[in-house]
Amino acid sequence: MSMVKVCFGGTFDPVHAGHIGSAKALAELLAVPVTLLPNGVPAHRDRPDASPEQRLAMLRMACENEAQLLVDSREIERTGPSYTIDSVMAMRAEMASSDGLIWCLGEDAFAQLHTWHRWRDLLQYTHLLVLQRPASDGPKDTELLDFWQRHRVRQVRHLLARPSGSIASIGLPQYAVSATTIRQLLVQGKTPPEHMLPAKIAHYIAAQNLYKVEAN
């Protein structure tokens, strides 16, 4: 019987309740574990405030009692920018040819897919599952729009029928939380509420003295 691997990449700076809630909802919906991959050196944003090792530690802490959530550290262990194409190629090499691979990304990230390294090659190795965000705009780039229309399927279940090659969208429960908001609260000396940031992650951040304003 073919297996399906579902992956959810991100900076996780820091990991928060929205990340974990979305990953758990995906695992329940697709009835497979979800693997979270913290990137080492983001290719499309500023360097994270926390080190790769700290972000990995927080993610492992957040997932340690979640049986359906797994953590993959390959992007942190790899040198150079964290390109998704490198990860999906490596994963595909570890899988049977009939196994399915699904890479999840937010709607805002998908709108910028045409700026990703070797983005046109992604569907040779994986499906893309776009997580809908109410405030996000869809793709505007004409080449990406054409790519989307050619590979789009209407229902997520279609991704489970083939190893790779399609794009689907899905709406998940929304969380009024962002890593930016959490970092802003921490800079102000405030502890984010637990519905935003799990207490054990908040304790780790305090112990590591993360997200503080540096003195001049």
CA 11, 174, 99, 119 dihedral sign is negative
Q: What percent of the chain has pLDDT over 70?
A: 97
Complete domains list, the chain, with CATH: 4-175 (3.40.50.620)
Question: Could you tell me where the beta strands, DSSP code E, fall in the chain?
Answer: 4-10, 34-38, 69-71, 100-106, 127-131, 167-170
Instruction: Specify the pLDDT at position 216.
Output: 37
- Token pair belonging to 1: 């019987």
Using one digit for the tens of pLDDT, what is the confidence trace for 81-125? Answer: 999 999 999 999 999 999 999 999 999 999 999 999 999 999 999
Residue 42 pLDDT: 82
Reported pTM: 0.93
Residue 72 DSSP one-character state: -
Q: Are the C-beta atoms of 130 and 172 separated by less than 8 Å?
A: no
